[in-house]
Amino acid sequence: MDIDVLFKSFKEKRIAVIGDIMLDKYIFGHVSRISPEYPVPVVDVSHETLRLGGAANVAVNIHAMGAHAMLFGVTGRDSSAQALQKLMHNHRLSSEHLFQDPDRPTTCKTRILSQNHHIARVDYESREAVSETAESFMEEHLRETISSLDAIVLQDYNKGVLTPTFIKQIITLASSKEVPVFVDPKLKSFFSYGGCTVFKPNLTEIASSLGISLDNTDREIEHACRKLKKTLRCEHLVVTRSEKGLTICNDRFTHIPAASLEVADVSGAGDTVIGILSLGFAAGLDIETSAEIANLAAGTVCQEVGAVPVNPDKLFDACREHFDK
């Protein structure tokens, strides 16, 4: 495989990312004392950062590789929405497919860290289904762009954008145009994604959806995958297994060990995996090779604190080292 040619081909791809968009706020500081009012740590703040999270982080990862990412979702009409749109502009992502709902808050997750360790998280969000008006807006915009797309990513955090009805509309439309659909699910709508191309749950999500306890062994994973794939009727099942890497289930099983890199923070790694997985597949790679590259990409972002997009130069070097063995 020519890594140079592959990475150049990414720049020709157009991928829609549909799902729950978040603003990630990080407050960094230092804990040196306990509050005299309540037995909780006092964080002396050193600095703060804002980053794109959820479906927006998937789009950032795809865009970082040179591809064109189109982001569909819902925000509020508040200061967090303004901050989110400013970040999107900085990343050269268009906000034309975002619906602003004044009756909903923009999902914002504030993480407080001390010495790069998470102390607490504060969430502002609504988990209610988005309005029919918002859903119709996104569907109409998707219909207008579907013919130009190489793939669609559905990034579900159970914040109300991906309702069962909307999911069915997306998969039906994509199927009619032969556009592959990649799904990063959450439990609430887990079994609504029947007929998708690639379904990427993690270990906990599979166990919860099937109502079983699940050890992270190849044998138990394979047994659970057979049951899940039969129910979902997806072409490929890709299970992220934390320190055990990835398992792919289609007409066979492929186990890919985790990239052996130092882990600082796993935040956003799943976003990176689904984004790079879809990009590799759209570029003509088989699902196994796409998953290997996505696994390497996740390994590079886990070296950073907080959700960060993949660095194409780091991923290029990791791919060259991995595939030239």
Write out the catalytic residue numbers.
271
Three-class SS string for the chain?
CCHHHHHHHHCCCEEEEEECEEEEEEEEEEEEEECCCCCCEEEEEEEEEEEEEEHHHHHHHHHHCCCEEEEEEEECCCHHHHHHHHHHHHCCCCCCCEEECCCCCCCEEEEEEECCEEEEEEEECCCCCCCHHHHHHHHHHHHHHHHHCCEEEEECCCCCCCCHHHHHHHHHHHHHCCCCEEEECCCCCHHHCCCCCEECCEHHHHHHHHCCCCCCCHHHHHHHHHHHHHHHCCCEEEEECHHHCEEEECCCEEEECCCCCCCCCCCCHHHHHHHHHHHHHHCCCCHHHHHHHHHHHHHHHCCCCCCCCCCHHHHHHHHHHHHCC
Strand partners, 182: 153, 198
| 109-112 contact pairs (CB < 8 A, 24+) | 109/22, 109/23, 109/24, 109/25, 109/53, 110/25, 110/26, 110/27, 111/24, 111/25, 111/26, 111/27, 111/267, 111/306, 112/27, 112/29, 112/43
The identity of residue 150, as a single letter, is D
